[in-house]
């Protein structure tokens, strides 16, 4: 009770803080006008791409406002915002979300010069997006619990009772959904539904993202996990003793799907030149080298002549299923629907 | 809020100034329009969106959400009521200290509670580390229903404790004494007289707890217990399923409204009134005797589990480095953002509710009561529903989108009911005769309010502001949906850390959040402000 001085102190604190807060608000609304700035919607993890963003800002003098979220969330936001979108660039983890945004006329056409820089399987004929790196789906496994020879030769084999309680997946992850979409296209919805039900039967553990899957495999909470190949190297950089390795299924297996991360310029941008500069930067030798061999990085470069990380198999030696990434925009929606219907996303 | 006081405060003869009515109407509309828009989007959603909300999942999520809310209400009553009784009515040694310890977990947001419990009790958490030499290499999972129940009980039982404490102090001891003199034992008196007299306080506390659980997002996510809020967020995050999120949000709002109606019914049944108005006597102090030991054991256990354990885990992580993810630090920018946002919201809420409160206090009418109810309504709205509504709203009104103003609007809509309830409660205690006297001595209407009414209502308004501050600092889901690019708060930073599994690195930020929130709780308990939760 009784504390008149407390009241005075609180009033003083409130006044001071509201003054601070008002300065914050004023600052936020006036800041981006003098120098050129770009608003980037990044589906790529901050932990993976921040140095690239930093270097671009230093070299170009262009300020980046970056919204980090999942590729799907950002695609939804772009569609919801329509022409009002503050975004200039959409950098996604995978081609399906880019395709969906492009299909609604929200991505600008890229110059042939940009498209020509990358292999045709990592872009589309409509030139609305272009690959920035390539990656493969893999099975990670705990080397203390398992020998490579014990691992399944196909992703379909994970429904075998031998893997009960030992599988980790990240159902909300864009690359997992892309893999599922491609598999639905290649093998039909009912077969994929049965596979998902088999995983449920096997008590597959759900994790929020690829990093947490690999960590869980490292701790031995689960023995195997479905992820992209490069997350392992990101964690190995911090913990060289992590008992986890990548495993590829047999040639042509859908579990080896090779995907691309890609970028597009938002059609409503008023800063097309600066946006193009950002896209060009992602294809620069420095950025490509960083994506491929920077600290903790291990993706495949998409520009010729940039070497991959030592120890990785050649990209051409990874035999995924025959699948055109341009189809993903159409195949992603059924994948997400299936995950919701089967309770993988609740 | 006593009806009698309100009646004497009213000036039925006078017409309310038009400007005041317009201002109040604007605020009432602002409080409800975004949700109306959410309803519109949900109702007009196409079949494809509806397919993403399968009936089976919806029923399952609704039942699980309700079961969790019921469980947490029950467990927080079981913890909070005995603690309150021991502190208020008995000669328990160290009563005051136990009382402070019992109210302090209020500063621990549910997601921090969950984080700490996971860190301590997970299969390979700190406790397992301690037990390792004894040959324990794995503890049972604590995620799921029981984990969520524990984390949410931690964050909510103080509501029950504080309201039960206030209720016990207000109970007329003469009814209990009469029952005793008629030969009832102590337990029978407690069950048949004290508990029913506490019914309004406990109903109000249970409602606060239930609303907290229904809108919780952080703890249930971390504990991997899917509820309606996580379902909404999953659809918001999933590809092009945002209208499905709106549909599920509507289900959640419906469930919340049902809970509010249920609480109102429970509260009205079988009230026990004071035999005399005015200052009550103190109830007789119960001598515990040998029961002192089990009572102390109970207090020690709850304090150890709900206060020492979570703060201990966070401190441990702050001072030692995790072998895998290393050590973190306090994110000072985020701390400044949290503080700035909370204080701005509190100040804005205090100002914004004034027209509604003044209108309802000075010019009671059907209109002013409706406007007051409209403004109070969002207290029943889960943060994620408000956030989603403003995402829809903002993305169509381009310039507001991803601005601090829109985030502030979400905080205001969600939390200004607290400010309104506190302001109204304190205004009702001010006699209009005072204002009239000031007017008759030549003060202008505004001058009279500023020099006479405000000083008297000030402590209530400040308590409301403190509660708004506290709630804003702990807010997570609406912040996640609406924060401007690059605007991190302590809550979102902690959340981001948990998403990549870096539990220990966010411990310093979690401790900072608790440290900022603690003085606010002190302010609140200092001004018996707990009744404002009870003030409809």
Task: Provide the sign of the torsion angle of the four alpha carbons A192, A194, A197, A198, taken in this order.
Answer: negative
Tokens of B510: 């979690």
d(CA A274, CA B188) in angstroms, rounded, equals 78
d(CA B305, CA B117) in angstroms, rounded, equals 9
Q: What is the pLDDT of residue B531?
A: 45
Give helix then strand counts, H and E, for chain A.
12, 9
Do A177 and B405 make contact, defined as CB atoms within 8 angstroms? no
C-alpha R_g of chain A = 22
Do B500 and A211 make contact, defined as CB atoms within 8 angstroms? yes
Between helix B454-474 and helix B332-352 the angle, nearest 10°, is: 140
Q: What is the pLDDT of residue A25?
A: 46
Summarised one tens digit per residue, pLDDT across range A188-225 is: 999 999 999 999 999 999 988 898 899 999 999 999 99
Q: What is the pLDDT of residue B78?
A: 96
d(CA B46, CA A181) in angstroms, rounded, equals 22
Q: Which of A331-335, B410-414, B497-501 has the lowest mean pLDDT?
A: B497-501
Q: What does B264-286 look like in DSSP terms, one character per residue? A: HHHHHTT----SS-SSPPPPPPB
Q: Which pLDDT band holds residue A256 (cuts at 50, 70, 90)? A: very high
Cβ contacts of A269 within 8 Å, gap of 6 or more? A87, A88, A89, A108, A275
Q: Which of B34-48, B71-85, B145-159 has the lowest mean pLDDT?
A: B34-48
Largest CA distance in chain B: 82
Residue B122: alpha-carbon gap to chain centroid: 27
Chain B partners of A10 at a C-beta cutoff of 8 Å?
462, 465-466, 523
Q: Which of A6-10, B152-156, B354-358, B405-409 has the lowest mean pLDDT?
A: A6-10
Number of alpha carbons in the 13 Å side-chain half-sphere of residue B96: 1
| Residue A196 in contact with partner chain B when CB distance is under 8 A | no
| Residue A273 in contact with partner chain B when CB distance is under 8 A | no
Question: Is the CB of residue A101 less than 8 Å from the CB of residue B267?
Answer: no
Chain A partners of B459 at a C-beta cutoff of 8 Å?
7
d(CA B445, CA B438) in angstroms, rounded, equals 9
Compare B454 and B310 and report the one with higher pLDDT.
B310
Identify the three-state secondary structure at position B173: helix
Tokens of B411: 């905080």
The phi, psi pair for B455, rounded to 5°, reads -55, -35
Do B404 and A11 make contact, defined as CB atoms within 8 angstroms? no
**pLDDT above 90 for B394:** no
B42 burial via Cβ count (<10 Å: 0-12, 13-18, 19+): buried
d(CA B73, CA B160) in angstroms, rounded, equals 9
Pairing relation of β-strands A205-206 and A167-169?
parallel
Pick the closest to residue B321 from B121, B117, B503 (CA basis): B503
Mutate to test the interface with B, among A80, A234, A266 (most CBs of B within 10 A): A80
Residue B458: alpha-carbon gap to chain centroid: 22
Pick the closest to residue B421 from B327, B307, B530 (CA basis): B530
List the beta bridge partners of residue A225.
Answer: A140, A168
Q: Which pLDDT band holds residue B152 (cuts at 50, 70, 90)? A: very high
Out of B61, B401, B484, name the one closest to residue A28 (CB). Answer: B484
d(CA B10, CA B17) in angstroms, rounded, equals 14
Pick the closest to residue B80 from B314, B391, B306 (CA basis): B306
Q: What is the pLDDT of residue A15?
A: 52
- ipTM, two decimals: 0.75
Q: Which pLDDT band holds residue B400 (cuts at 50, 70, 90)? A: confident
Q: What is the pLDDT of residue A199?
A: 97
Cβ contacts of A197 within 8 Å, gap of 6 or more? A342
Q: What is the pLDDT of residue B281?
A: 65
Q: How large is the average pLDDT for residues A270-291?
A: 96
DSSP class of residue B44 equals T
Q: Which pLDDT band holds residue B14 (cuts at 50, 70, 90)? A: low
Task: Provide the sign of the torsion angle of the four alpha carbons B413, B414, B417, B420, taken in this order.
Answer: negative
Residue B353: alpha-carbon gap to chain centroid: 19
Q: Which residue has the tokens 């970028």?
A: A263
Between helix B404-428 and helix B354-362 the angle, nearest 10°, is: 30
The phi, psi pair for B444, rounded to 5°, reads -70, 165
Q: How large is the average pLDDT for residues B450-464?
A: 80
Compare B393 and A13 and report the one with higher pLDDT.
B393
Summarised one tens digit per residue, pLDDT across range B267-323 is: 766 555 555 554 456 677 888 888 899 999 999 999 999 999 999 999 988 888 666
List the beta bridge partners of residue A266.
Answer: A107
Q: What is the pLDDT of residue B434?
A: 79
DSSP class of residue B16 equals P
The phi, psi pair for B450, rounded to 5°, reads -70, -40
Tokens of B319: 């001072």
Tokens of A223: 């023995």
Q: What is the pLDDT of residue B396?
A: 75
Tokens of B272: 């026990």
Cβ contacts of A298 within 8 Å, gap of 6 or more? A229, A230, A232, A233, A234, A292, A309, A312
**pLDDT above 50 for A52:** yes
- Dihedral-angle region of residue A107 (phi above 0 means left; psi in -120 to 50 means alpha; beta otherwise): beta
Distance from CA of B483 to the nearest CA of A (A): 10
Pairing relation of β-strands A63-68 and A89-92?
unpaired
Summarised one tens digit per residue, pLDDT across range B188-210 is: 888 888 888 888 888 888 998 99
List the beta bridge partners of residue A89.
Answer: A40, A265
Mutate to test the interface with A, among B240, B241, B480 (most CBs of A within 10 A): B240
DSSP class of residue B307 equals I
Q: What is the pLDDT of residue B271?
A: 54
d(CA A317, CA A338) in angstroms, rounded, equals 31
**How many Cβ atoms sit within 10 Å of the Cβ of residue B511?**
18
Q: What is the pLDDT of residue A301?
A: 97
d(CA B404, CA B483) in angstroms, rounded, equals 7
Q: What is the pLDDT of residue A298?
A: 93
Do A10 and B523 make contact, defined as CB atoms within 8 angstroms? yes
Q: What is the pLDDT of residue B491?
A: 93
Q: What is the pLDDT of residue B513?
A: 93
The phi, psi pair for B322, rounded to 5°, reads -70, 140
Question: Is the CB of residue B49 less than 8 Å from the CB of residue B216?
Answer: no
Torsion, Cα of A48, B222, B61, B251 (10° steps): -70
DSSP class of residue B106 equals G
Question: Is the CB of residue A271 less than 8 Å from the CB of residue A36?
Answer: yes
Summarised one tens digit per residue, pLDDT across range B169-178 is: 877 778 788 8
Identify the three-state secondary structure at position A51: helix
Compare B497 and A145 and report the one with higher pLDDT.
A145
Percent of chain A with pLDDT over 90: 70
Distance from CA of B365 to the nearest CA of A (A): 33
Pick the closest to residue B406 from A269, A74, A28 (CA basis): A28
Q: Which residue has the tokens 């909070």?
A: B80
Between helix A46-60 and helix A285-293 the angle, nearest 10°, is: 160
Mutate to test the interface with A, among B128, B238, B499 (most CBs of A within 10 A): B238
> A with B: how many residue pairs have Cβ under 8 Å apart?
152
Q: How large is the average pLDDT for residues B63-73?
A: 97
Do A211 and B486 make contact, defined as CB atoms within 8 angstroms? no
Q: Which residue has the tokens 């008196």?
A: B189
Tokens of B479: 């912040």
Summarised one tens digit per residue, pLDDT across range B329-345 is: 788 899 999 999 999 99
Out of A72, A332, A346, name the one closest to residue B226 (CB). Answer: A346
Q: How large is the average pLDDT for residues B86-100?
A: 90
CA distances from A229 to A233, A325, B257 (A): 8, 18, 47
Question: Is the CB of residue A343 less than 8 Å from the CB of residue A201?
Answer: no
């Amino acid at each position: 009770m009784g504390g008149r001085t407390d009241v005075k102190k609180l009033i003083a604190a409130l006044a001071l803080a509201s003054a601070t807060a008002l300065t914050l608000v004023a600052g936020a609304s006036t800041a981006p006008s003098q120098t050129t700035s770009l608003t980037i919607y990044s589906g790529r993890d901050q932990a993976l791409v921040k140095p690239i963003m930093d270097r671009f800002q230093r070299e170009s003098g262009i300020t980046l406002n970056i919204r980090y979220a999942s590729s799907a969330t950002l695609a939804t936001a772009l569609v919801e915002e329509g022409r009002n979108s503050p975004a200039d660039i959409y950098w996604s983890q995978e081609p399906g979300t880019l395709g969906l945004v492009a299909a609604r006329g929200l991505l600008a056409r890229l110059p042939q010069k940009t498209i020509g820089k990358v292999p045709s399987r990592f872009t589309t004929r409509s030139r609305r997006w272009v690959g920035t790196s390539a990656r493969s789906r893999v099975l990670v496994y705990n080397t203390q619990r398992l020998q490579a020879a014990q691992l399944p030769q196909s992703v379909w084999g994970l429904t075998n009772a031998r893997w009960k309680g030992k599988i980790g997946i990240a159902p909300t992850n864009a690359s997992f959904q892309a893999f599922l979409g491609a598999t639905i296209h290649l093998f039909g919805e009912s077969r994929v539904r049965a596979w998902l039900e088999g995983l449920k039967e096997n008590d597959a553990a759900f994790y929020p993202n690829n990093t947490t899957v690999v960590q869980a495999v490292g701790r031995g909470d689960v023995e195997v996990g479905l992820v992209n190949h490069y997350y392992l190297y990101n964690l190995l950089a911090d913990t060289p003793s992590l008992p986890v390795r990548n495993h590829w299924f047999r040639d042509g297996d859908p579990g080896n799907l090779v995907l691309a991360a890609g970028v597009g310029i938002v059609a409503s941008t008023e800063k097309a030149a600066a946006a193009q500069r950002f896209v060009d930067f992602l294809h620069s030798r420095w950025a490509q080298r960083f994506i491929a061999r920077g600290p903790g990085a291990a993706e495949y470069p998409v520009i010729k002549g940039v070497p991959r990380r030592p120890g990785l198999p050649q990209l051409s030696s990874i035999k995924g299923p025959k699948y055109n990434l341009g189809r993903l925009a159409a195949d992603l929606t059924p994948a997400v629907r299936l995950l919701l219907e089967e309770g993988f996303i609740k | 809020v006593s009806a009698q006081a309100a009646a004497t405060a009213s000036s039925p003869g006078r017409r309310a100034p038009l400007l005041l009515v317009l201002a109040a109407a604007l605020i009432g509309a602002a409080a409800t329009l975004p949700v109306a828009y959410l309803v519109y989007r949900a109702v007009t959603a196409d079949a494809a969106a509806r397919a993403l909300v399968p009936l089976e999942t919806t029923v399952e999520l609704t039942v699980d959400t309700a079961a969790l809310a019921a469980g947490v209400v029950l467990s927080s009553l079981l913890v909070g009521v005995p603690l309150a009784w021991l502190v208020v009515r008995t000669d328990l040694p160290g009563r005051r200290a136990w009382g402070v310890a019992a109210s302090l977990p209020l500063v621990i947001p549910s997601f921090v509670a969950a984080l700490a419990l996971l860190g301590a009790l997970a299969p390979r958490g700190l406790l397992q580390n301690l037990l390792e030499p004894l040959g324990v290499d794995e503890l049972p999972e604590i995620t799921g229903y029981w984990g969520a129940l524990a984390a949410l009980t931690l964050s909510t039982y103080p509501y029950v404790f504080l309201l039960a404490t206030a209720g016990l102090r207000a109970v007329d001891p003469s009814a209990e004494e009469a029952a005793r003199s008629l030969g009832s034992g102590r337990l029978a008196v407690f069950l048949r007289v004290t508990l029913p007299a506490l019914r309004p306080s406990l109903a109000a506390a249970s409602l606060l707890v239930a609303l907290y659980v229904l809108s919780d997002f952080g703890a249930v996510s971390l504990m991997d217990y899917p509820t309606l809020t996580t379902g909404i967020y999953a659809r918001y995050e999933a590809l092009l399923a945002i209208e499905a999120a709106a549909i599920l949000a509507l289900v959640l709002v419906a469930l919340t409204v049902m809970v509010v109606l249920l609480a109102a019914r429970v509260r009205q049944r079988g009230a026990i009134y004071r035999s005399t108005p005015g200052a009550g006597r103190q109830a007789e102090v119960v001598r515990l005797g040998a029961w002192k030991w089990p009572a102390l054991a109970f207090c020690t256990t709850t304090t150890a589990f709900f206060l020492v354990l979570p703060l201990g885990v966070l401190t441990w992580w702050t001072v030692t480095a995790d072998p895998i993810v290393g050590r973190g630090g306090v994110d000072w920018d985020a701390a400044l953002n949290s503080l700035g946002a909370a204080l701005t919201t509190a100040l804005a809420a205090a100002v914004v509710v004034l027209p509604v409160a003044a209108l309802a206090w000075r010019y009671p009418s059907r209109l002013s009561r409706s406007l007051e109810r409209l403004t109070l309504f969002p207290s029943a709205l889960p943060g994620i529903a408000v956030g989603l509504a403003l995402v829809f709203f903002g993305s169509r009104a381009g310039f507001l989108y991803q601005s601090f103003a829109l985030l502030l609007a979400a905080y205001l809509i969600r939390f200004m009911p607290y400010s309104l309830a506190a302001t109204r409660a304190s205004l009702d205690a001010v006699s209009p005769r005072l204002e009239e006297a000031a007017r008759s001595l030549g003060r202008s209407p505004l001058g009279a309010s500023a020099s006479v009414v405000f000083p008297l209502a000030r402590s209530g308004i400040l308590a409301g502001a403190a509660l708004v501050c506290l709630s804003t600092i702990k807010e997570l889901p609406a912040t996640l949906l609406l924060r401007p690019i690059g605007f991190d708060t302590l809550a979102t930073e902690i959340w981001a850390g948990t998403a990549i599994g870096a539990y220990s690195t966010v411990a310093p930020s979690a401790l900072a959040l608790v440290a900022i929130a603690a003085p606010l709780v002190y302010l609140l308990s200092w001004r018996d402000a707990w009744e404002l939760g009870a003030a409809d």
